[in-house]
Amino acid sequence: MRHKTSGILIVDKPQDITSARVISRIKKKLGVRKAGHTGTLDPMATGVMVCTINKATRLSRFFLDSHKRYEAVLKLGVETDTLDATGRIVATHQIDTVSEQAIRAACKLFEGEINQTPPIYSALKHNGVPLYKYARNGTPVTKPPRKVFISYIKLIDINLSEIRFEVKCSSGTYIRTLCADIGNALGCGGHLKELKRIECGGFGIHEAMSLNEIETKPSIETIQKKLIPMTDALSWMRQYTADTGLMEKIKYGQPLSSADIPVEPESLSSPFIKVINTDHRLLAVVSQDENKGQYNYCCVFLNP
């Protein structure tokens, strides 16, 4: 695989390790120069990481805004400064009067489009510095609320102070903020105790290899078989098969018009088209410019 094979590897991230460290260990195991991911998981979180290998690193942008699904545990009655189990306890409250009916009603409040304030302990930046650095230095910075979308919150188990639930949400949603907000709505506070991402970019946990499994595989070829080809990874994207003439234009970066790729325009919210050859290999991703009847290159995988 060294420096040659490109594709998407779905990894089940273990707990207590950064996403960056996961990528570093995968690069070492596979012997590749380039690897990345399409969305950071906090060290305490586990689950799906969409890892891009070699040329596939250029596809990361197409997955960043995808919806995600998580399974989480909310601990009621205990508030922490980080809003999760890694933080310092700042308040405790009685939960004797919190009913299952109240919990279900509180969760419903946060479905749909909501305004959510990012945690002061997060990797979001202020003046080029991550927020968690300000917080650790005793000068926390609060970012203004931003709109996120919660498709659903499905309660799995309610066991006294702990609530296990599944949530599907838009990119940029903080599950620890969601847990704290639900706790506040119930009047008892709360924090995120456990978090597992079960879907990201259309890829599920059932497709993932554990980091231990990757590192202990004696054969690189075994891992290579788990790589998702770049064309298949963009399954949601419209597709066009290039002829020889179009391939030559793409190879040399020549302008492309609707005559070259006669695909009917669709909503500007999904302007991308993947161009492939007859072997189903990804040649390029282009975007439609409806006003000019032309295409803009997003990334090209053909060398002149």
Angle at 45 between CA 94 and CA 155, to 5 degrees: 50
Q: Name the token pair of 75.
A: 């601990």
* Sequential DSSP letters for 102-148: HHHHHHHTTSEEEEEPPPSSSS-EETTEEHHHHHHTT---PPPPEEE
- Highest mean pLDDT of the ranges 41-45, 157-161, 189-193, 289-293: 189-193
Contact status, residue 226 vs residue 251, Cβ threshold 8 Å? no
Please give the structure tokens belonging to residue 269. Answer: 């919210």
- Where does residue 100 rank: exposed (0-12), middle (13-18), buried (19+ CB within 10 A)? exposed
Q: Which pLDDT belongs to residue 262?
A: 87
**What is the share, in percent, of the chain residues with pLDDT greater than 90?**
74
Residue 38: enclosing H or E segment and its boundaries?
none
Better pLDDT: 123 or 190? 190
Single-letter amino acid code for the residue at 76: L
Enumerate domains of the chain plus CATH numbers: 7-66+202-232 (3.30.2350.10), 68-200 (3.30.2350.10), 237-300 (2.30.130.10)
- pLDDT of 268 > 50? The answer is no
| Torsion region of 99: left, alpha or beta (phi above 0 gives left; psi -120 to 50 gives alpha) | beta
Q: How far is residue 189 CA from its own chain's centroid?
A: 27
Place of tokens 């910075």: 141
Q: Is pLDDT larger for residue 141 or for residue 73?
A: 73
Residues 200-222, mean pLDDT to the nearest whole number: 90
Give mean pLDDT, residues 76-90: 96
The pLDDT score that the predictor gives to residue 187 is 96
Spatial CA neighbour of 72 closest among 38, 108, 110, 45? 45
* Residue 157 in this model has a pLDDT that exceeds 90: yes
d(CA 219, CA 205): 23
**Residue 269: which pLDDT band, with cuts at 50, 70 and 90?**
low
* Residue spans of beta strands (DSSP E) within the chain: 7-13, 35-37, 46-53, 68-76, 78-80, 89-92, 112-116, 125-126, 129-130, 146-159, 162-169, 190-200, 203-204, 209-210, 238-241, 256-257, 272-276, 282-289, 294-300
**21 C-beta neighbours (distance < 10 Å), count:** 13
Active site residues per annotation: 42
197 confidence band (pLDDT: 50, 70, 90): very high
Give me the phi and psi of 178, to 5 degrees please.
-60, -45
> Does residue 250 have a pLDDT over 50?
yes
Contact (Cβ atoms closer than 8 angstroms) between residue 191 and residue 175:
no
Pairing of strands 89-92, 209-210: unpaired
Predicted structure pTM score: 0.91
Residue 3's pLDDT is 41
Phi, psi of 8 (to 5 degrees): -110, 130
Whether residue 2 has pLDDT greater than 50: no
pLDDT in tens, 103-116: 999 999 999 999 99
Q: Looking at residue 271, what is its pLDDT?
A: 82
CB 76 within 8 A of CB 28: no
Structure token digits, residue 220: 């690189």
Query: pLDDT class for 127, splitting at 50, 70, 90?
Result: confident
Whether pLDDT at 195 is above 60: yes
